[in-house]
Amino acid sequence: MQNAKTDVFVVGGGPAGLVAAMAARKKGFTVMLADGAEPPIDKPCGEGLMPETLAALRELDIAPDSGEGHEFRGIQFIQKGKRFAADFPEGYGMGLRRPILHAMLVAKAEKSGVRLLWKTPVSGITPEGVQLKSGLVPARWIVGADGGGSRVRRWSGLDELAQRTQRFATRRHYRVQPWSEYMEIHWAKGAQAYVTPIGREEVCVVVMAERLQDADFAKVLAELPELRERLNGAELASRERGAVTVMYRLKNVARGNVALVGDASGGVDAITGEGLRLAFRQSLALAAAMEANDLQGYEEAHRELAQRPMRMGKLMLLLGRNDALRQKSFGALASKPQLFEKLLAVHVGRATPAQMVRTGVQLGWRFLSA
Ligand SMILES: Cc1cc2nc3c(=O)[nH]c(=O)nc-3n(C[C@H](O)[C@H](O)[C@H](O)COP(=O)(O)OP(=O)(O)OC[C@H]3O[C@@H](n4cnc5c(N)ncnc54)[C@H](O)[C@@H]3O)c2cc1C
């Protein structure tokens, strides 16, 4: 290892790191990637890939087979018997078990020529390269894709925060036939449950709340009789796992020859279902910036990519927190289904700024147009 060197060294082999590595390979760089864990790596996640997330993967010729997951056509909100749904303006989403997504990305990365080092934690970085137990690996570019608790972020002095909020989440898989063609978000007081169909006989359910004690299945399901009924008697298909979902923005995501991608570079609340799309889009933007030898270009692209999901994330948190606003807004959405379609179009980036302003005005949400 002492003499090995690479154009790009990616620290972390989660979805962001693997896609960043493949995007860099596609630009002709030699790429090495190290992760302390071993594939397939599981992680608590809602496991929903939005149409735009799938579109980002297609740019690297990656297309999950619908037999591996379960397609859904849009989003449905449900609260106290009120429900409203909207189809995605284009395409479909897909629920895909996290280890399946990971195994698929690992196979593709290997095939594209990325040198993958598993069970290989990175212990430090220098301007010359990346420190492994076996020695320093010289690298022109260092990509920090080491997740929300990123050490690369700290080592490179990029951990100055612009803003941060966090919530708690608990994930379960239930062995039950998906009952809806939509990804569902059930709203309770101070908590939400979202349900992603992920297979012919399986759904992924995540409950989320601002207080740890509220992200509790028994407590949340007690408030959601319809969902409780659906899950009643269904066998658990995995071990329950907890997670923290952090919404944060950094002042900078690149410095010198180091750049951050994925959760290491910022985060949006899990309820947006946008974490993976952002990670993949950032990875594509970073490869283009490294090719152009211009990490400033990546800074700008990253900031722009984060704007819409951040805004939608804040909106969801506000609706979760403010019962009166939620009742009023859901009343308006239930009576005008086309409004929810417009909101979903805004969410997936298929609305023009003018349409976004109009939707905000119709809902009385001035901040949507701010
Ligand atoms: C509850 C919950 C639900 C979510 N639901 C959705 C959803 O439905 N749809 C969606 O798109 N997004 C969702 N997200 C967000 C999504 O899961 C994340 O955005 C995504 O996992 C980010 O991937 P990543 O590769 O950046 O980080 P990670 O997956 O955390 O990967 C980081 C990797 O770095 C490795 N690593 C760390 N330190 C080192 C080191 N020093 N050396 C070597 N390796 C290291 C780790 O082992 C790990 O494999 C959800 C998140 C949560 C918490």
Ligand 1: distance of its center to the CA of 273 in Å?
A: 13
Span 19-34, average pLDDT: 98
Kindly state if the Cβ of 247 falls inside 6 Å of ligand 1: no
Ligand 1: distance of its center to the CA of 348 in Å?
A: 21
Q: What is the pLDDT of residues 240-280, one digit of tens each?
A: 999 999 999 999 999 999 999 999 999 999 999 999 999 99
Span 185-200, average pLDDT: 96
Q: Round to whole Å and give the CA distance between 139 and 130.
A: 7
- The DSSP letter of residue 343 is H
Kindly state if the Cβ of 12 falls inside 6 Å of ligand 1: yes
- Does pLDDT of 320 surpass 80? yes
CA angle (132 as vertex; 129, 135 as ends), nearest 5: 80
| Residue 283, phi-psi category: left (phi > 0), alpha (psi -120 to 50), beta (remainder) | alpha
Query: Mean pLDDT in the chain?
Result: 93
Ligand 1: distance of its center to the CA of 307 in Å?
A: 20
Confidence at residue 347, expressed as pLDDT on a 0 to 100 scale: 81
Q: Do residues 357 and 341 lie in contact, with contact meaning Cβ atoms separated by under 8 Å?
A: no
Span 63-68, average pLDDT: 86
Confidence at residue 366, expressed as pLDDT on a 0 to 100 scale: 56
Kindly state if the Cβ of 37 falls inside 6 Å of ligand 1: yes
Kindly state if the Cβ of 11 falls inside 6 Å of ligand 1: yes
Give the confidence band of 368 by pLDDT, cuts at 50, 70, 90. low
Q: Which two tokens stand for residue 37?
A: 């864990």
Best probe residue, ligand 1, of 146, 184, 305, 316 (max atoms within 8 Å of C-beta)? 146
Confidence at residue 137, expressed as pLDDT on a 0 to 100 scale: 97
Kindly state if the Cβ of 275 falls inside 6 Å of ligand 1: yes
Ligand 1: distance of its center to the CA of 153 in Å?
A: 15
Span 178-186, average pLDDT: 97
Confidence at residue 337, expressed as pLDDT on a 0 to 100 scale: 78
Q: Which residue did the predictor score with more confidence, 339 or 76?
A: 76
Confidence at residue 365, expressed as pLDDT on a 0 to 100 scale: 64
Instruction: Give the atom of ligand 1 at the shortest distance from the alpha carbon of 267.
Output: 19
Span 162-186, average pLDDT: 95
Q: Which two tokens stand for residue 279?
A: 């990670």
Q: For the purposes of burial, counting CB atoms within 10 Å of the CB of 364, is it exposed (0-12), middle (13-18) or buried (19 or more)?
A: exposed
Kindly state if the Cβ of 21 falls inside 6 Å of ligand 1: no
The residue type of 108 is K
Q: What is the pLDDT of residues 116-125, one digit of tens each?
A: 999 999 999 9
Q: What is the pLDDT of residues 90-106, one digit of tens each?
A: 999 999 999 999 999 99
Q: Which residue did the predictor score with more confidence, 191 or 2?
A: 191
DSSP string, 101-160: HHHHHHHHHHHTT-EEE-S----EEETTEEEETTEEEEEEEEEE---TT-HHHHHTT---
Give the confidence band of 370 by pLDDT, cuts at 50, 70, 90. very low
Best probe residue, ligand 1, of 10, 33, 35 (max atoms within 8 Å of C-beta)? 35
Kindly state if the Cβ of 34 falls inside 6 Å of ligand 1: yes
Q: Which of 13-17, 286-290, 306-310 has the lowest mean pLDDT?
A: 306-310
Q: Which of 11-20, 168-177, 214-223, 334-343 has the lowest mean pLDDT?
A: 334-343
Q: What is the pLDDT of residues 200-221, one digit of tens each?
A: 999 999 999 999 999 999 999 9
Confidence at residue 244, expressed as pLDDT on a 0 to 100 scale: 96
Give the confidence band of 350 by pLDDT, cuts at 50, 70, 90. confident
